[in-house]
Structure 1
Amino acid sequence: MTADSPRWFASSYSGNGGACVEVATNLAASYSTVPLRDSKDPAGPSLAVPAGAFAAFVAGVRSGALDG
């Protein structure tokens, strides 16, 4: 693994069911992107989200603004 390799992790809130979204926030500072992937398919595709958009999403979840 190099410094530019994603370090994947799932939220501690996701439990151990295996149906999680994993993120690699270690690339946000150097590439301004946050990769996301399906934990059930780690060799599959990932989605690159702009770091600012991901931060806004996390802030919205934390504040409850995205609750239905």
Structure 2
Amino acid sequence: KAVWYAVDVGTVAPPNTLIDKAEIVTEGTRNIDFFLKPETKWPPGTFRVELFVNDALDQVVSFSVK
């Protein structure tokens, strides 16, 4: 499962606003790709995506848009 948040985008949204989430169910070992495409341009600011494996938080990736 991947869960995306807008951490700090100024007045566009409150801090740590949930943007979207997606879940893929598979069997065995494999690579899985998640992507998020906004309907309009990404607002400048900081974001994060939380990645879960078997319902346990596995990794948090932070990124910024300028």
Q: TM-score, normalised by structure 1?
A: 0.32
Q: TM-score, normalised by structure 2?
A: 0.32
More strand per residue: 2
Q: Which has the higher contact order (CA 8 A, sep 6+)?
A: 2
More helix per residue: 1
